[in-house]
């Protein structure tokens, strides 16, 4: 007997330990408080996903042959019964399915609790007018295998059946794309959802396209994707897990893959436009993958990428400036949903590449958002990143090309990597109860029309390089909370410019690095430099500026130079920031001389 054997890489238990109370994949033995049972180091030892799930019989197989309006069976004995256009599998085993059905159904109803049913799609076109073309009703576990070099299509139609999915499973279910992953599965969901698993769903691999009037892929208890190519175009959520009963389920894990997800809302107003690309009731953990996400209203065109200067925008090849062509279409902060990636717990992004064009928020979490080792370009009609808890970036690139607010969270930690924000309102906003904004490392570049970086509590800078270009009256480049909250600097570099009418907010109450500042720079959008130390070519309109750095010496005079010709190599390509510039031609240019100091506090104007 020939058997196909494939290597299975399981998620380590450590990769899921970041979840707050979430269960290991398919592990059902857990206490009432949602804590995990045994843990011997890998999920393979405690869950029901096994390497043998993806090993199947390829010699003398059992076949279900679909013949347009009838079904014939081959080597099935009593394991399958067929009547008209319905085949019912009653025993565990491996079953190949091929051919075409005009209006039929494959049902798995294996009463043996230990039955593993493997369904090999071998070039099949299934249509069902009144239910799910593939219905997993009863078995221990079902595995759908997309045979290499085959095209497979499953389609349902509008009906009143409780099987609300083209593939509808009441049991644990997994999908495998065979050894070369060259087969395809196309799902046309005209009734409701594409793939719906009432327990857990694991996608080992596969090339899957879903066109849906509602959701794309649902794993109620969990959705785990090891590696896949998934295309979704529809009027619901693309990928999600929905269990909200407090058991620790309801989470999404993505290890790798290519994801093209377009979610369209037909809602008549923003308050009811709630379709999201990736959604979980509890936590989401993304370890890698390439994601192209677009959420938009059907009544309006998708947010155009034409204004992403020169290409796909941001720091990506051909993107030009990390801020592209400006603010785009961000016009409102009042949207109910249509987020790129959203969850009710913690969102952890520890790898991957993201191109998110969201009518709502790009990344959204009711808990914390943790970001590292990833690259993301986000256009958002609301916040680029929104977290009810903390937001932390440790490494990678996060480029919020256009947004209403860039990043909003209770506590914001810029601890490494590169962060770019272009916002119509605040760039960074630490709000809610006991908020704080902390910059300890990395590179931060903010353009905003509200406050540049804003905290309703304290602001502390201890490292990194922060450049803030704010414009518009009634706001400040840097703004900490009233009532005894402070802005302090113990390290790092800050170069901020913006409106002069509230600029005193941008002066730290204490600093260990020397600083210079002035609110007598006129009203200019020309280049701004501090001697040959730092310069920005294309700031927004400003009248005041502050520079804090260990490159300064307390008691020494320096010049702010307005409109000088700057040459040299950009500190970060496409930013127009030079640290340092090779030269600044200040002849016949406006300049203001200021003496560096470490004495903090508000000032009355210079």
Q: What is the mean pLDDT of the chain?
A: 86
pLDDT digits (tens, 9 = 90+) for 502-512: 899 999 999 99
Give the pLDDT score at 248: 84
179 or 174: which leads in pLDDT: 174
Give the pLDDT score at 146: 97
332 or 499: which leads in pLDDT: 499
Lowest-confidence segment of 39-48, 145-154, 422-431, 448-457 by average pLDDT = 39-48
Q: What is the mean pLDDT of residues 246-268?
A: 91
Q: Is it the case that residue 411 has pLDDT exceeding 70? A: yes
505 or 301: which leads in pLDDT: 505
pLDDT digits (tens, 9 = 90+) for 201-228: 999 999 999 999 999 999 999 999 999 9
CB 127 within 8 A of CB 104: yes
User: DSSP characters for 570-591?
Assistant: -SSTTS-EESS-SEEE-TT-EE
Give the pLDDT score at 260: 98
Band of pLDDT at residue 271, cut at 50, 70 and 90 = low
HSE-CB of 142 using CA atoms within 13 angstroms: 30
Q: How far apart are CA 393 and CA 478, in angstroms?
A: 20
Q: How many CB atoms lie within 10 A of CB 302?
A: 15
Band of pLDDT at residue 269, cut at 50, 70 and 90 = low
Task: Of 258, 255, 328, give the one whose Cα is nearest residue 293.
Answer: 258
Residues 6+ apart with CB under 8 A from 477: 451, 452, 453, 468, 469, 470, 496, 497, 498, 499, 503, 506, 546
Q: How far does CA 191 lie from the centroid of its chain?
A: 28
Q: How far apart are CA 253 and CA 240, in angstroms?
A: 10
Q: How far apart are CA 280 and CA 385, in angstroms?
A: 16
| Whole-prediction pTM | 0.88
Q: Is it the case that residue 563 has pLDDT exceeding 90? A: yes
Q: What is the mean pLDDT of residues 324-328?
A: 33
């Amino acid at each position: 007997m020939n058997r196909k054997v494939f290597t299975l890489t399981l998620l380590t238990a450590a990769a899921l330990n970041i979840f707050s109370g979430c269960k290991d994949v398919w592990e059902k033995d857990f206490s009432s408080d949602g804590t995990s049972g045994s843990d011997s180091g890998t999920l393979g030892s405690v869950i029901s996903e096994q390497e043998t799930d993806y090993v199947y019989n390829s010699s003398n197989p059992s076949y279900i042959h679909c013949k347009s309006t009838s079904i014939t069976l081959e080597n099935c004995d009593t394991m399958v019964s067929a009547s008209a256009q319905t085949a019912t599998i009653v025993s565990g085993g491996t079953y190949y399915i091929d051919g075409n059905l005009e209006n039929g159904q494959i049902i798995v109803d294996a009463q043996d609790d230990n039955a593993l049913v493997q369904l090999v799609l071998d070039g099949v076109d299934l249509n069902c007018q009144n239910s799910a073309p593939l219905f997993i009703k009863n078995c221990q576990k079902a595995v759908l295998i997309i045979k290499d070099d085959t095209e497979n299509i499953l389609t349902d139609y509008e009906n009143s059946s409780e099987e609300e999915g083209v593939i509808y499973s009441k049991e644990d279910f997994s999908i495998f794309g065979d050894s070369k992953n060259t087969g395809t599965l196309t799902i046309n969901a005209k009734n409701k959802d594409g793939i719906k698993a009432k327990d857990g769903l694991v996608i080992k691999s596969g090339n899957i396209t879903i066109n849906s009037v509602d959701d794309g892929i649902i794993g109620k208890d969990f959705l785990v994707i090891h590696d896949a190519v998934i295309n979704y175009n529809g009027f619901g959520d693309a990928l999600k897990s929905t269990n909200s009963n407090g058991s620790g389920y309801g989470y999404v894990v993505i290890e790798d893959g290519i994801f093209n997800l377009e979610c369209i809302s037909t809602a008549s107003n923003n308050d009811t436009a709630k379709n999201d690309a990736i959604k979980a009731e509890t936590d989401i953990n993304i370890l890698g993958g390439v994601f192209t996400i677009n959420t938009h209203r059907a009544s309006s065109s998708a947010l155009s990428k034409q204004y992403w200067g020169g290409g796909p925008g941001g720091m990506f090849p051909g993107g030009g400036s990390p801020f592209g062509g400006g603010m785009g279409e961000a016009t409102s902060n009042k949207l109910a949903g249509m987020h790129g990636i959203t969850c009710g717990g913690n969102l952890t992004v520890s790898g991957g590449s993201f191109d998110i064009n969201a009518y709502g928020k790009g990344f959204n979490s009711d808990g914390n958002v943790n970001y590292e080792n990833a690259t993301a370009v986000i256009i958002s009609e609301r916040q680029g990143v929104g977290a009810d808890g903390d937001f932390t970036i440790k490494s990678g690139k996060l480029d919020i090309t256009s947004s209403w607010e860039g990043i909003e969270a209770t506590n914001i930690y810029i601890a490494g990597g590169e962060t770019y924000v272009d916002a119509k309102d605040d760039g960074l906003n630490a709000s809610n109860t006991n908020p704080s904004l902390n910059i300890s490392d990395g590179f931060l570049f903010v353009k905003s029309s509200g406050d540049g970086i804003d905290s309703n509590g304290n602001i502390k800078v201890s490292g990194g390089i922060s450049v803030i270009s704010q414009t518009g009256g009634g706001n400040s480049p840097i703004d900490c909370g009233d009532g005894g909250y402070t802005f302090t600097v113990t390290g790092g570099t800050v170069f901020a410019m913006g409106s002069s009418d509230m600029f005193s907010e941008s002066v730290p109450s204490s600093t260990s690095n020397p600083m210079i500042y002035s609110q007598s720079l006129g009203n200019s959008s020309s280049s701004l430099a501090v001697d040959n130390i730092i310069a920005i070519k294309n700031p927004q309109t400003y009248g005041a500026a502050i520079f804090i750095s260990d490159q300064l010496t307390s008691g020494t005079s320096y010049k702010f130079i307005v409109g000088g010709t700057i040459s040299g190599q950009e500190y970060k390509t496409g930013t127009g920031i030079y640290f340092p510039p090779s030269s600044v031609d200040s002849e016949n240019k406006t300049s203001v001389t200021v003496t560096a100091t470490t004495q903090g506090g508000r000032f009355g104007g210079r």
